[in-house]
Amino acid sequence: MKAKVIVTLKNGVLDPQGKAIEGALSSLGFDGVNQVRQGKLFEIDLATSDTEEARRDVTAMCDRLLANTVIESYRIELV
């Protein structure tokens, strides 16, 4: 089973990298961009086919390593 984990900064947390990307897009002529928030994508290949086990394991991975849950939130997609 495969899992995709999308990690993004929580609302209200400053995103200097997103702000820099926003400025760069503007300087390249993309004037219609109001805001950019950047994040991370993890694609994980799991040895299990049990959906509950996969979700439990990936949640533990996120909580312990992949996301800083103080300032980031994450979404898990099992494929």
Please tell me the predicted confidence (pLDDT) of residue 54.
98
Tens of pLDDT, residue by residue over 9-22, are 999 999 999 999 99
Is the whole-model pTM more than 0.85?
Answer: yes
The encoded tokens of residue 29 equal 């002529």
Tens of pLDDT, residue by residue over 10-55, are 999 999 999 999 999 999 999 999 999 999 999 999 999 999 999 9
Q: Mind listing the domains of the chain with CATH numbers?
A: 2-78 (3.30.1280.10)
Can you tell me the distance from the alpha carbon of 52 to that of 43, in angstroms, rounded to the nearest whole number? Answer: 18
The encoded tokens of residue 13 equal 């947390």
Please tell me the predicted confidence (pLDDT) of residue 44.
98
Tell me the three state secondary structure of residue 70.
coil
Please tell me the predicted confidence (pLDDT) of residue 8.
98
